Amino acid sequence: MADKATRQAQRSPARRPRVRHNVTAAIGADICGGRFPPGTILPRESDLCETYGVSRTVIRESLKVLETKGLVRGRPRVGTLVCDRAEWNVLDAQILEWMGPDVLSAELLGSILEARRTVEPAAAFLAASRATAQEIADLERACDDMGDAEGDLEAFTAADARFHETLLKASHNKVFHQLSSIIHAALSYALHASNRAAVKRDEALDVHRELVDALRLRDGARAETCSRHILELAARDLSHLMGDAGDLKTH
Amino acid sequence: MADKATRQAQRSPARRPRVRHNVTAAIGADICGGRFPPGTILPRESDLCETYGVSRTVIRESLKVLETKGLVRGRPRVGTLVCDRAEWNVLDAQILEWMGPDVLSAELLGSILEARRTVEPAAAFLAASRATAQEIADLERACDDMGDAEGDLEAFTAADARFHETLLKASHNKVFHQLSSIIHAALSYALHASNRAAVKRDEALDVHRELVDALRLRDGARAETCSRHILELAARDLSHLMGDAGDLKTH
DNA sequence: TAATCAACAATTATACGACAAATTGATGGC
DNA sequence: GCCATCAATTTGTCGTATAATTGTTGATTA
């Protein structure tokens, strides 16, 4: 998806009534992007009103939303404090989006990959016994879209993300399903930072299809193995991208 | 029209601490508790003002917060729609708290247990190589508190929750660390619904201590095994609590 | 008579101004 | 030099007004 008009919101002239939800994204992006570093107090609300060109009501609603995400903490008289990054809810899809591919730290990317290697194979195993026919069809459709993408890296990544999200959904585990956001973030990073070779994409696609086959046959063990294989490819991509910093290997 | 005298009477007696937080929790609890079932439109904002005795500003900020949690979705002219439970962010600590032990569905509890059995052993393995001395000391302290709790089930559960939260933190994986909330919820449920036998608590405590030993020796495999053992005990407790209906698989 | 479209109304979305509360820093007294 | 009191500043809350949006209803035409 196109990343909205996050910085358009700051640049808006004056009276533009179409900026209710975008102010939250603008402030959130400014915090995640480092314009308001953790530990600092951001400007008082009346100043933020002028900065973002909206009323204090909107500013306050936005700050309350950011507060629920653990990004800031408001205290009377002292102002709104930007929380430490450790307190940020990194499972929140919007925060990951605001951080963007450029700001995502190597540590966080490593954490996400580790989590995927833990969760996704388990989800694949569960999906083998629980996936509905519709979900399997959706997975196959995602594979087809990945194949049709050809040179379009963005379309390929979108289909890839849909595949993994559907897989988590097909595990019929509510906790796993909620973790889709981190996969979006991981793939989004890979999309922007990499030029994945076509060969590897083909290889990945083959394994994806094999996983769907395993699901259709209700073969949990094989589905789990396929998932591990997919993530191994992703891990290779990532470590290659990050200059093999070495922190990625689990064992 | 809001009765000004009444509101004055409310605020004058003592202090007026953080109206917004209470109102958000109240509406959230009413939604999670079933007073506003999914699919329904909740009363218009001016009515909510009277119901909860606050101004529309506070109501709107609360609704905005609930919207970010996926609980409701506001649309102009039509009102605020209560989203389906599938859209709720069940990883959110507050939502789990609002749902409470009575409302937590068997399906969600099963999902949480499944997720724990997937994540915690992996976290234990990682913690074996990454835990700091301070974290290991904290884990031991939690074990001691569990032992000191004796008959106090609440204190025991609190120490238990602190143990598992510290373990996830010691994995030094940001994603795992954020999942602490679901463990709190699971243990909170077990606390309110069960009368865990003292024998089992002793057995659990022994395994907890063994896990700390494994961490101290940097023995990842053994830590992982201990974690599995702990969760096996928890699973037995849970299935026993829920009338061994086998509800853990599906609905 | 039925279908399409336009005007209306109701409700949310946003804005603005005011006051209350609370915390912190300063200032004066002991 | 320390402590208590006061004032200032900023958030917290409130009330109302205006704009935007959409469901509804009624009219008009084929």
State the Cα–Cα distance between residues B163 and B201, nearest whole angstrom: 14
In chain A, residues with a C-beta closer than 8 Å to the C-beta of B119 are 115, 118-119
Each residue of B114-161: pLDDT tens digit?
999 999 999 999 999 999 999 999 999 999 999 998 888 889 999 999
A174 and B107: CB-CB below 8 Å? yes
- The nt closest to B73 (CA vs C1′) is C12
What pLDDT was estimated at residue B238? Answer: 83
Say yes or no to pLDDT of B201 above 70: yes
- The encoded tokens of residue B178 equal 């954020």
Two tokens at B32? 């999670």
Q: What is the distance between the alpha carbons of residues B180 and B223, in angstroms, rounded to a whole number?
A: 18
Cα dihedral sign, B229-A124-B163-B104 = negative
Least confident of A4-13, B53-62, B91-100, B228-237: A4-13
- Strand D contact at CB of residue B58, distance < 7 A: yes
Q: Is the pLDDT of residue B248 over 50?
A: no
- Pick the range with the lowest mean pLDDT from A67-71, A215-219, A236-240: A236-240
What's the rounded mean pLDDT across residues B35-40?
94
Could you tell me if A97 and A182 are in contact, meaning their C-beta atoms sit under 8 angstroms apart?
no
Q: Is the model more confident about B3 or about A248? A: A248
Q: Which two tokens stand for residue A197?
A: 């070779």
Minimum distance, in Å, between the CA of residue A248 and any CA atom of chain B: 11
- Collapsing DSSP to helix, strand or coil, B82 comes out as strand
- Contact in structure between A110 and A154 (CB atoms under 8 Å): no
The reported pLDDT for the residue numbered A16 is 29
| pLDDT at res. A10 | 29
Average pLDDT of chain B to the nearest whole number: 86
CA B56 centroid distance within chain: 29
Beta bridge partners of B73: B81
DSSP assignment letter at A69: T
In this prediction, residue B19 has a pLDDT band, given cuts at 50, 70 and 90, of: low
Least confident piece of the model among A59-73, A221-235, B16-30, B48-62: B16-30
The A-side interface with B (CB below 8 A) comprises 57, 60-61, 64-65, 68-69, 86, 89-91, 94, 107-108, 111-112, 114-115, 118-119, 122, 126, 130, 172-176, 178-179, 182, 250-251
Sign of torsion over alpha carbons A216, A217, A222, A224: positive
**How much of chain B exceeds pLDDT 70, in percent?**
86
pLDDT at A8 over 70: no
Q: What is the pLDDT of residues A110-164, one digit of tens each?
A: 999 999 999 999 999 999 999 999 999 999 999 999 999 888 888 999 999 999 9
pLDDT tens for each residue of B150-179: 888 889 999 999 999 999 999 999 999 999
Give the residue from A116, A208, A231, A105 showing the smallest Cα distance to A156: A208
Residue with tokens 């919101």: A9
